Structure 1
Amino acid sequence: MRRAEIITAFILGLFSVYLMWKSGEPPAWNPDAARFDNIGYDDTGAPGSGFWPFWLGVIMLASCVWTGINWALRRTPASVSTAPFLDSYGWKMLLTVGGGLIGFLLVIEFLGFYAGMLAFLVYYIRFIGRHCWAVTLSIATAVPVVCFFFFDIAMRIVLPKGYSEPLFIPLYDIFL
């Protein structure tokens, strides 16, 4: 457990540094801007395009450093534990849930993001969580619908639709 804590903090720290670096890139519409010009406020007083990702990366990196300090000083239960990170049940659950997530990522290409999300939620809620069909179908349909209206309609961030794209054309005609 001790080794897992510091390895996780290190990997997340590397990811946060990468996030900070990438969020400092100039926007595509202004390639002449200097790196990290977009992590503060612009002339209108609004945050730049990299403001939130950069500062969230800073907070994440600070958390990783704090975890590393607590690990070195052995202040957390995990930092003094000699137990294995995952027992046999933990490995089984990791493979079950991780396999479902990998399956979800693979079907996005064909089914699209929303249909893939529906399939994953049915798999996870019904077959892993063992909930009844009413709960499963209500959540598995509500979440993609809410995500569609949030991303595609409200934010105008079009997510991949795959072969299900013709089903969304009438919705675009109504709401856009």
Structure 2
Amino acid sequence: MSAAARVGRFYTAARRHPWVLGKVGDWKIPLGPYTPAQIAVGVVGGFVLVKTISWWSVLGPVPITAWLLTIWVVRRPRIRGRAPMQAALGWMLLGWQPQGGRIGGRAARDRAARPLLGAFTIEDAPRPAPPAPSVRPAPRPAGARSSMPRRTKPVAPAAAGVGPMSGVQQLLSRAGQSGGVR
């Protein structure tokens, strides 16, 4: 039994080709195709040469040769791995950004400085109000049955207070009864 070899193919060469103008099928512009940078240098440089012909005509073919050499030089320029137009756009956008950057699409700004003032007061804890006396019915004699309502008398509050008390509350109530904490 033969071992089957796995074959992997990568087609990244198509992604590495620069964007070019002047190539249709097998036909291309003479000395082309041209990149957008070459076309921009050619158009702008040609316009400048035509408008200033009276200045450089004494130099002969030197300015035209320099123009053509410049077009050839910018065929694949890279500025830190980027095309010149992309690099120029990046620098322009960097200059346009706010100095502090952006947060959520909006310019990030520091808040204005303001003084931080504060104060505090130490007060005694409020003492709980004495509980209201509760009323409970008076005990009846064993043999007496009466149609009259029973009399009620007030009930003394519990020694520790009404309801559950925390340990601190119990300590404070003892201190209040004895005149101080020992």
TMscore range, shorter length:
under 0.3
Q: Which has the larger helix fraction? A: 1
Larger relative contact order (C-alpha < 8 A, sep ≥ 6)?
1
TM-score after normalising by structure 2: 0.22
Q: Which structure has the larger Rg over C-alpha atoms?
A: 2
Identify, as 1 or 2, the structure richer in strand.
Answer: 2
TM-score after normalising by structure 1: 0.22
